[in-house]
Amino acid sequence: MTDAFSYQRTVQSLARVLARIEPTPWDKVQSLFRYCPQENAAGVFCLDAKAQDAVIALGIYFLESGCQHEQRIVPYLLRLAKCLPKAVWVDDAKWSKIDRIPSAEKFSFCLNTLLSDIASKCPDLREEIILNQVETLGALANIIKSSKDSSSA
């Protein structure tokens, strides 16, 4: 078992154990949250494989706990999703011959799937989540458009 896989399983197991505690005290959830990447002063998140695993585990906790600590977790996930276009991606995972999708693309997909699951489970958050996803997609489209415009000029 590789170190990265072991870490991923460990944080996901922690998330599932915490989700079974009702209600889960925030200080217990912080044991998971502290492994999630934090925004620096420039508004940039640095995302390595362990940080990505921790974010997904936080989402697993949120969904499996019945949406506990919504006021802390959802704004964090939305902010992270909105900042993905300017995130710093540290690709510290070993590249596999069978793994053809870049880690940034996989993580973005997982985070947005997680947010869609939250929107489905928490109707009061649906509009905010969808708006966040549409705005982020628009920002990415603008980045691609400007890159294409500058390369063809």
Q: What is the 3-state secondary structure (H, E, C) of 77-124?
A: HHHHHHHHHHCEECCCCCCCCCCCCCHHHHHHHHHHHHHHHHHHHCHH
Given pLDDT bands bounded at 50, 70 and 90, which one contains residue 85? very high
**Residue 97: pLDDT band with limits 50, 70, 90:** low
Q: Please state, for a pLDDT cut of 70, what percent of the chain lies above it.
A: 93
pLDDT tier, 153 (very low <50, low <70, confident <90, very high otherwise): low
Cα separation, 11 vs 16, in Å, equals: 9
What per-residue confidence (pLDDT) applies to 121? 97
Q: Which domain holds residue 21?
A: 3-152
Give residue-wise pLDDT tens across range 4-55.
Answer: 679 999 999 999 999 999 999 999 999 999 999 999 999 999 999 999 999 9
Distance CA 14, CA 91 (A): 24
Work out the pLDDT band at 98, boundaries 50, 70, 90.
confident
- 88 CB contacts (<8 Å, ≥6 apart)? 44, 45, 46, 47
Distance CA 101, CA 38 (A): 25
107-129: average pLDDT: 97
Confidence class for position 148, pLDDT limits 50, 70, 90: confident
Give the mean pLDDT of the chain.
93
- E strand or H helix that includes residue 44: none
Look at the block and give the residue holding tokens 């704004």.
Answer: 75
If one counts the domains in the chain, the total is 1
